[in-house]
Structure 1
Amino acid sequence: MDFPRALDIDHSETLPRLPSWVTAGSAETLEDAAFLSGAALNHLYLLMARDDVPAALIRARLALRAAEACVRFSGRPERATALRDAVHFLRPGDLPGPGGEVYLSWRRAVARAVSVRSLGRALPTVEAGRIADCLAAGQGAPVNRAARVLEAMMATGRQEAPALILADAALSQTLGLDYLTPLLAAGLQRADLRKDGEELRRACHRAVVASVIETACLAVDLTRRAAQLQAVAPKLRAKGAGAAVEMFLTSDAVAAAALPLPPRAARRLCARLVELGALRELTGRDTFRLYGV
């Protein structure tokens, strides 16, 4: 039985930190904002490229944050807990509701490498040609391209989630990341989405800096937690435990029923991993529980 290799050191302690002049920087001009966001994005690129960083898990957690922001922009009341429930406890034939649909779109958008086809799966109501145009939105730096995509999509009356997904896709692609890394939604305000031109670019630069700061902190936390899960994996004897561990290392949350084990064995495995400090139970409920790193 193959398990992820246990880590001998806490790699979260070796991750590079954002310099203080980025985290405490004040952007008085568009040029200042662009300089700070460029430094932040360079840090993010190096961080997400590290083998010891659970990049898929980070993207999954950021997708939930982005979905929560989009639902808030639309005036709906659902927050992260409700969005998780709407997606993870869907029964065959059920609909996830508007908030759940937004979360599903973000989950699908981060699950596969950025392409017209993968984004088409995430955004089935957006024409493939429109997606291709967004991914080829001219020349320029990552944030400027993302702002152009966001402005163009919002000008056509698109909903916030498709516009922000495509803007983040353009940003990630221009940055050289294979997978969409959600940054803009969580850092923008609802009023920012009505801006255009230089004002929108400045808002996007500020959003990127704020989101990268949060993502860097998240990476430290999840790298440490992922290392703990990998360390205890060899102690698990249940058949299918290796595949279950991989699910936890790449997913924001997992229901025991979704694991590739018999129901009772799946519940025992989750309880054991919580006992070992390798997982957290995310709902605080006695039933319909969800587990995550």
Structure 2
Amino acid sequence: MLSSRIPPENSPSFPRRLPAWISSARAETAEDAAFLTGAALSALQVVLVQPDVPHALLRERRALAAAEASVIRAGRLERAANLRDEVHLLRPGDQTGPAGAVFALWRQAVARPISVGTLHAVLPGIAAPDIATWLDAGQGAPVARACAVFEAVRTVHPRAEEAALILADAVLAQAMGGNTIMPLLGAHLTARDLRTSGADLRGAGYAAVRKAAAETLALSQDLRDRAAQLKAVAPQLRAKGAAAAVDLFLSRDALSPSLGLTSSGVGMSDRAARRLCDRLVALNVVRELSGRDTFRLYGL
């Protein structure tokens, strides 16, 4: 049986966590905070450019973290498991509740490359020319630029907190040389942080990004190991549609056998989909995420 704790053989070794001098250091000054945050982003960048990291899946998991942070800021009781249920058990024609809508929004935001058009499609309440201006705005280091854009969006759209965070994370990703959003600020800024401005907001942004970078680095390596193990057993899967199902597991936060694997893109019967998921769990390459006997969800 494969163990999810053992890295794939012959795979390159990359950092699995931030060095202690970054993660444990106390930022006594704004300069310290900026330096430590830059070091954290640099360590994360080493991993994010590796081709064997399942990037789409990693972004979806970070989108879930950002959505959970959002509902916590709003004082709601839903947590990650509830958000997964609302989105991944949604039947065609149904609508999510308010909390599920936040997760769906972040999933849309991270799914496609950053551009004015794609962001306007995700955030139709924000004018495309304004999005273009904000994507090109700002000088200096990534976090400072992102925080400046958050403030600018908040000034024009004071009730569009989620849109401001998505655009801030888009600017942060671009400033790091990326072309897709990796939710960092959105996952760790608190309600109190979002009421600040200027140097206070930048300080909160530095702290949030360091936490998010540490989490994302560890998660990326865990998903990298799990993805390699799933790919290793994929040739053993003879069921019709198994290859397409494996591709979905490598890119989706969670899947319902009866909803996610019976679609036209996979084409499995409900029974075959359940049997495939049970086998992947037995092989220790996929986990059952819901903890229920019915309406189960599976993922890496």
TM range (shorter): over 0.9
Q: What code does the residue aligned with 1:14 have? A: S
Deviation larger for 120-129 or 81-90? 120-129
Does 2:27 correspond to 1:27? yes
Does 2:182 correspond to 1:181? yes
Deviation larger for 246-255 or 90-99? 90-99
Tell me which residue corresponds to 1:160: 161
Instruction: Tell whether the 8 Å contact from 2:54 to 2:223 is kept in structure 1 after alignment.
Output: yes
In structure 1, stretches of 5+ residues that fail to align are 1-6
The alpha carbon displacement at 1:10 in A equals: 6.6
**CA shift digits 1:12-57 (9 cap, x unpaired):** x712242221111111111111101111111122211011222221
The alpha carbon displacement at 1:118 in A equals: 1.6
Tell me which residue corresponds to 1:281: 288
Tell me which residue corresponds to 1:3: none
Tell me which residue corresponds to 2:241: 240
Q: Distance between the aligned counterparts of 1:10 and 1:127, measured in 2?
A: 49
**CA shift digits 1:186-232 (9 cap, x unpaired):** 22221000000011011101111111011111122111111111111
Deviation larger for 156-165 or 54-63? 156-165
The alpha carbon displacement at 1:153 in A equals: 2.1
Deviation larger for 34-43 or 83-92? 83-92
* Secondary structure of the structure 2 residue equivalent to 1:250: coil
Tell me which residue corresponds to 1:269: 276
| Pairing of 1:1-293 with structure 2 (within 5 A) | 9=9, 11=11, 14-16=13-15, 17-155=17-155, 156-256=157-257, 257-259=259-261, 260=266, 261-293=268-300
The alpha carbon displacement at 1:148 in A equals: 0.6
| Matched-pair identity in % | 55
**CA shift digits 1:87-122 (9 cap, x unpaired):** 112223322111111111100111111111221232
Q: Distance between the aligned counterparts of 1:33 and 1:158, measured in 2?
A: 29
In structure 2, stretches of 5+ residues that fail to align are 1-6
Instruction: Tell whether the 8 Å contact from 2:8 to 2:229 is kept in structure 1 after alignment.
Output: no
**How many residue pairs were aligned?**
286
Q: What code does the residue aligned with 2:222 have? A: D
Instruction: Tell whether the 8 Å contact from 1:73 to 1:160 is kept in structure 2 after alignment.
Output: no
Q: What code does the residue aligned with 1:267 have? A: R
Tell me which residue corresponds to 2:3: none
Instruction: Tell whether the 8 Å contact from 2:138 to 2:149 is kept in structure 1 after alignment.
Output: no
Q: Distance between the aligned counterparts of 1:21 and 1:236, measured in 2?
A: 45
* Secondary structure of the structure 1 residue equivalent to 2:192: helix
The alpha carbon displacement at 1:167 in A equals: 0.5
Instruction: Tell whether the 8 Å contact from 2:8 to 2:225 is kept in structure 1 after alignment.
Output: no
**CA shift digits 1:141-198 (9 cap, x unpaired):** 1101100111122233133211111110010011101110000122222100000001
Instruction: Tell whether the 8 Å contact from 1:113 to 1:179 is kept in structure 2 after alignment.
Output: yes
Q: What code does the residue aligned with 1:197 have? A: G
Q: Distance between the aligned counterparts of 1:192 and 1:113, measured in 2?
A: 28
**CA shift digits 1:229-251 (9 cap, x unpaired):** 11111110012111110110111
* Secondary structure of the structure 2 residue equivalent to 1:251: coil
Deviation larger for 66-75 or 125-134? 125-134
Instruction: Tell whether the 8 Å contact from 1:70 to 1:160 is kept in structure 2 after alignment.
Output: no
Q: What code does the residue aligned with 1:285 have? A: R
Q: What code does the residue aligned with 1:15 have? A: F
Q: Distance between the aligned counterparts of 1:121 and 1:249, measured in 2?
A: 25
Q: Distance between the aligned counterparts of 2:200 and 2:13, measured in 1?
A: 37
Q: Distance between the aligned counterparts of 1:191 and 1:44, measured in 2?
A: 26
